[in-house]
Structure 1
Amino acid sequence: MYVAVKGGEAAIDNAHRLLADRRRGDRSVPALTLDQIAEQLALGVDRVMSEGSLYDRRLAALAIKQARGDLIEAVFLVRAYRTTLPRFGYAEPVDTGAMLIERRVSACYKDLPGGQLLGPTFDYTHRLLDEELDGDAEVGPGRLRMGAEEPVSRIADILGAEGLIEEDLDPSPLDEPGDINQTPMEFPLSRAMRLQSLSRGDEGFLLALGYSTQRGYARSHPFAGEIRIGEVEVEVCSPELGFAVPVGRVQLTECQMVNQFKGSAKAPPQFTRGYGLIFGQSERKAMAMALCDRALRAEELGEDIVAPPQDQEFVISHCDNVQATGFVEHLKLPHYVDFQAELGLVRSMRAEHAEPRDESLPDMKEAAE
């Protein structure tokens, strides 16, 4: 148990004032506005929304500003704010097949229905610092808007038509998918609850685990079936009307990984799926999530669990960066009593170790032999 340390209120108040001063920085430099953060640091905003589990660009931008750019601290702020919001209902499942895509690529097919849309990506840049950005030069007459005008079919549907990939079974309307915000976590978790945890898990942690699956720590041989970024409608069923009505649009990144599977006694040889879906634009996170999702399906598919990414208790218990930050950073709190106890024990053991041994007594090891 940890108790509050009294007597340091003045020091804490001063620390808060100093933090606010450092956050503002040089007063001769104009202060950042939330619009600037939301528009020009959009990928950081998307990460905070995804891992903070709250789709609100303005609040995510505010959290980034308050956290001085520390994205995990910003995620913590958003999560804390989220707990104060009332829950008034659940949205209907979004239809990513009806997504109006801005970017869509596949590593499985060169020519695919609807075509490849490169969209805004760093993939083809030369990773050279652009000195022109120092002057904040404008590109073109205004903001470019490009993307598909109509929804396009998914790669998994093409493979599914030939029976080459496992079916993506829709859950029964009577099956509750569970809610990690309302239900205490008990292992083993359903896939729905695992996906919820992975979706708001730390990008760096999932990236490392996903990378490890490709290096032989889960025998994963994936193909990026499809990665798509775009907007979908969110609908909520109105009890008064008796049908779902759209309440807004959100931007999502979806990734479907296609993995080899030799088959089992219950299933023929076919491709299997790994799935990733997150708020905003972050295909690296969505891809890492899909890799981890497929690895965590090892038991379901009759595969041996031989690596950490296949152990759901290990992955899910450690992927949350807010939880991890709290446990690591609590080491900064006072542990005076604990340390004094350890210090006394070490001193006692050293004193015992330094005492001269009576040579007339038999050696305990020799006596045992």
Structure 2
Amino acid sequence: MAYVAVKGGQQAIKEAEKLLHYYRLKDGEQPIAINQIRTQMRLAVDKAMSEGSLYDPDLAALALKQAEGDAIEASFLLRAFRSTLPRQAYTLAIDTSQMEIVRRISATFKEVPGGQYLGPTRDYTKRLLRMELTEETDTEAQERLAVFLKELNLDAAALASEEVPTFPRVIDLLKEEGLIAGAQKVTSNAAGSVDDITRDAISFPASRSVRLQAMSRGETGALLAFAYSSVRGYGDVHPTIGELRVGYVPVYMPHPIYTEETIALGTVLVTEAEIVVRQQDETTDGAAQFAVGYGLCFGHNEDKAISMGILDQTMQAENPTSPAQDEEFVLYHIDGIESSGFISHFKLPHYVDFQAELQRVRSINRQEENEG
């Protein structure tokens, strides 16, 4: 495709940008505070952080405000800002077994070690509009909080003295029975380090680390669509959620001077999913076992983590027969920022391109008329 530089229109572009700011404020309402977006639109903030590949709730909230709620645009802003930041060091791999649980469920076993924690979820609620929220006041919100906290009857001193509980992995129960096939590891590349898609372009066949990285910052809807296509029959993965966790995990990095020590940088909220997939049918040769697909992303985004786990297994097909099994097809089309950018570029001038096509069509028609 040919591109030709277009001159002119600079003043019109500046005025269009002014109009954009006007439309955000034209109704005279109080501007939304960043902390309001961060706390009351938490799931949108988490999605923007994940797809923007930058963990910063305040900046994600700012991006959503600037983008007027456009999730893809907000992620684009975050990704662009991320590209300006220097890389100081690499953190150590997070240990999700030390997760401070917010939510933890399993669809494989009813009774699991440590118990199931529903946490904050709409999975079991009716999808009905709560009309009372249209005129919710600060007083009503504070009263609702007070009632909830009173029902909990929290003892701050007792809580401070207790250790944060950790939970064993549900998948380990199946491993003990020898029912889990050998796990596919995130292997190192020829240089002895894990592949980094922010430094090197994706090439195929892709390593598992590349696939997981690309999916972890892929667009939620795209991942969901590919995973859905597989479980509907355009693939052979029939998943069960071994365990789904949402919680805070500590992040460490090696000490810059004393390399044998580590520094705690803080905690990040992540969603982790381990998907159990039957690997081999009982009627075939060899023992029937389960394989495990893995998904993890920033923030509270269960659909994305589950879809990642499904696609992690789907893309391991040796002979792809469906789109969701073709890693090249999947990985090239799940990045919402790249796909949005390419689709948006069609709004830019294509005058020369179209005139060339127009002349060709007219020439073909004239030739057919002359021959007729």
1:6 maps to which residue? 7
Structure-2 change in CA distance of 1:143 and 1:320 (3 Å):
farther
Q: In the alignment, residue 257 of structure 1 is paired with which amino acid?
A: I
Structure-2 change in CA distance of 1:172 and 1:320 (3 Å):
closer
1:220 maps to which residue? 237
CA contact (8 A) 2:185 2:208 kept: no
CA contact (8 A) 2:183 2:291 kept: no
CA contact (8 A) 1:160 1:167 kept: no
For normalisation by structure 2, the TM-score amounts to 0.90
Q: Is there any run of 5+ residues in structure 1 with no aligned partner, and where? A: 358-369
Secondary structure of the corresponding residue to residue 141 of structure 1: helix
Secondary structure of the corresponding residue to residue 313 of structure 1: helix
1:237 maps to which residue? 254
Choose from 194, 198, 204 the match for 2:221: 204
Greater radius of gyration (CA): 1
What is the rounded CA distance, in whole Å, between the counterparts of 2:281 and 2:86 in structure 1?
46
Secondary structure of the corresponding residue to residue 189 of structure 1: coil
Shift of 1:61: 0.5
Choose from 227, 248, 252 the match for 2:270: 252
What is the rounded CA distance, in whole Å, between the counterparts of 2:3 and 2:286 in structure 1?
52
Structure-2 change in CA distance of 1:217 and 1:170 (3 Å):
closer
Q: In the alignment, residue 342 of structure 2 is paired with which amino acid?
A: F
What is the rounded CA distance, in whole Å, between the counterparts of 2:184 and 2:97 in structure 1?
15
1:364 maps to which residue? none
1:153 maps to which residue? 168
Secondary structure of the corresponding residue to residue 350 of structure 1: helix
Q: Which has the higher contact order (CA 8 A, sep 6+)?
A: 2
Choose from 183, 189, 202 the match for 1:185: 202
Q: CA RMSD in A?
A: 2.3
Secondary structure of the corresponding residue to residue 101 of structure 2: strand
What is the rounded CA distance, in whole Å, between the counterparts of 2:347 and 2:221 in structure 1?
23
What is the rounded CA distance, in whole Å, between the counterparts of 1:113 and 1:244 in structure 2?
30
Structure-2 change in CA distance of 1:159 and 1:16 (3 Å):
same
Question: Which moved further from structure 2: 174-183 or 317-326?
Answer: 174-183
What is the rounded CA distance, in whole Å, between the counterparts of 2:148 and 2:227 in structure 1?
35
What is the rounded CA distance, in whole Å, between the counterparts of 2:251 and 2:70 in structure 1?
30
Q: Does 1:17 align with 2:18?
A: yes
1:318 maps to which residue? 333
CA contact (8 A) 1:206 1:319 kept: yes
Shift of 1:57: 0.3
Question: Which moved further from structure 2: 85-94 or 137-146?
Answer: 137-146
Shift of 1:135: 2.2
Question: Which moved further from structure 2: 129-138 or 213-222?
Answer: 129-138
Shift of 1:263: 7.4
Q: Does 1:104 align with 2:92?
A: no
Shift of 1:161: 1.6
Secondary structure of the corresponding residue to residue 245 of structure 2: strand
Identity %: 45
What is the rounded CA distance, in whole Å, between the counterparts of 2:286 and 2:77 in structure 1?
45
Shift of 1:3: 4.5
What is the rounded CA distance, in whole Å, between the counterparts of 1:199 and 1:229 in structure 2?
15
CA contact (8 A) 2:273 2:306 kept: yes
Q: Aligned pairs, how many?
A: 352
1:141 maps to which residue? 146
Q: Does 1:269 align with 2:288?
A: yes
CA contact (8 A) 2:269 2:298 kept: yes
